[in-house]
Amino acid sequence: MTMSIDQLSGTNKRAAEILLANDRGGYTVPSAKLYPFQWNWDSALVALGFSVFDPDRAWQEVESLLSAQWDNGMVPHIIFWKEEKSYFPGPEQWGTKNIADTPPTSGITQPPVAATVIEHLLAEDINAHRDRAAKLLPKLDRWHQWFLDARDPEGRGVVANMHPWESGRDNLPDWDRPLSFIDTTGVGTYHRRDTDIVNKDERPKKDDYDHYMSLVKFGRDCNWDPQVIARDCPFWVAEPGMNAILRRAERDLITMARLLGHDDIATRATARLARLDAGFEALWSEAVGGYVTLDLRRNEHATALTSGSWLALFAGKVEKIRANKMAATLSRWLSSVKHGVPSFDPNHELFDSIRYWRGPVWAMINWMISTGLIEHGETELAERIRADTQALIDQSDYREYFCPVTGRGGGGTDFSWTASMSLYWSARPRGAGTPTDATIPMPNTLKPDTPKPDTTDQEAK
């Protein structure tokens, strides 16, 4: 049920006010000071929060995001809607201005949560939103096809990231070894603005950033040609988070396409999903006991789990023996920290409780993990994660992320996706249409007459 903002109270009202403060008219910035643009998966997830009190504005958010789709189908990870010199790396560093008939953008994408978000928006009132959803389905179809064409041209069934930023989880320890093979001698000098504002202990180190910028230079030098990138990019890594989110997105696209009579899209998405479901097996590590990152250039598995490992449960049905093993491991993680879910194994030597993605808790990842746990019958674990997330917000406000050990916030303040997740999770405790038992119909079936029940910002995310 949609509520007016005047009907919201307490933390919910404050969350809505953060979204409104970060609204730039059709798109929302992640955090006001150093994020003056639209970010891909931030924007999609922000739409969930808007849907609680302003459904029209929620649809505008995803429509704006998909309006910047490239001719080849990619939806970029940053859209530079206006000129702003204070941000680095900006349009000049990406060099994409003449590639597509869009505003200047970055040259990479991010996890495609948009289809899942749109499925949730549609389920709120199918008859009211049918036409808007129908206009977006072809864009989602083209984007999902781009992933397989550009990031899995060999047909292995797992899509690669050509840059850590493409994963959305920028500074994972998983990237350390693949990045170590990259030559950074041609990067030159540059000025990072994030460490002017944020405590440097919360941010990637200079060596990490040199490698990031080397990959930006590689993409710019080849004019972001997908064939050259797939053949020659020195960073070519598949990981469970991106692949799980894409698999979930395909399932949700199939649901919507069948409901709205787009049988051709449903057919293509079904074929893609079969390939992705089969390929996802390549990310399972029996030695580690979960789904892990795979360096496709060297055919090497990572040796530790991340919070993205549990997004396998969000992607679809996991066989019971594996799901039980994953739930047991997650329980051990949660017993090692005050708040879950840490973004990296808290018992690993590379765990860092406050440095970007090397340990902190992220609200939107928690929402996805909790959703997957509920769908696999692990309701107690799911509720623990929801309660942890709200406790972190109650303690440290709407920060970008949180220390799982102390609960203190890190990164940006008044952060849009944290506010959105808190608000949506409160209003829709089980999500829209989330099954309430351990059986997961794949894909879910919607029925038209049954609606689903301190000062910081940082740069490239």
- Residues 313, 372 contacting (CB under 8 angstroms): yes
Give the dihedral of Cα atoms 61, 242, 235, 65; nearest 10 deg: -10
Q: How far apart are CA 30 and CA 211, in angstroms?
A: 24
* Exposure string for 297-335, b = 16+ CB within 10 A, e = fewer: eeeebbebbbbbbbbbbbbbbbeeebbeebbebbeebbe
- Residues 385, 373 contacting (CB under 8 angstroms): yes
- Residues 151, 159 contacting (CB under 8 angstroms): yes
- Residues 305, 288 contacting (CB under 8 angstroms): yes
Instruction: Give me the amino acid identity at 403.
Output: C
- Residues 213, 163 contacting (CB under 8 angstroms): no
By CB atoms closer than 10 A (0-12, 13-18, 19+), residue 4 is exposed
Question: Of 213, 200, 207, 208, which Cα lies nearest the Cα of 171?
Answer: 208
DSSP H or E segment with residue 93 = helix 91-94
Return all residues near 345 (Cβ < 8 A) that are at least 6 apart.
304, 305, 306, 333, 351
Q: Which long-range contacts (CB under 8 A, 24 or more apart) does 81-85 make?
A: 81/24, 81/27, 81/37, 81/38, 82/36, 82/37, 84/36, 84/37
- Residues 431, 364 contacting (CB under 8 angstroms): no
Instruction: Give me the amino acid identity at 456.
Output: T
Residues labelled as active-site residues: 170, 400
Question: Of 226, 248, 89, 249, which Cα lies nearest the Cα of 160?
Answer: 226
List the helix and strand counts (H, then E) for the chain: 17, 9
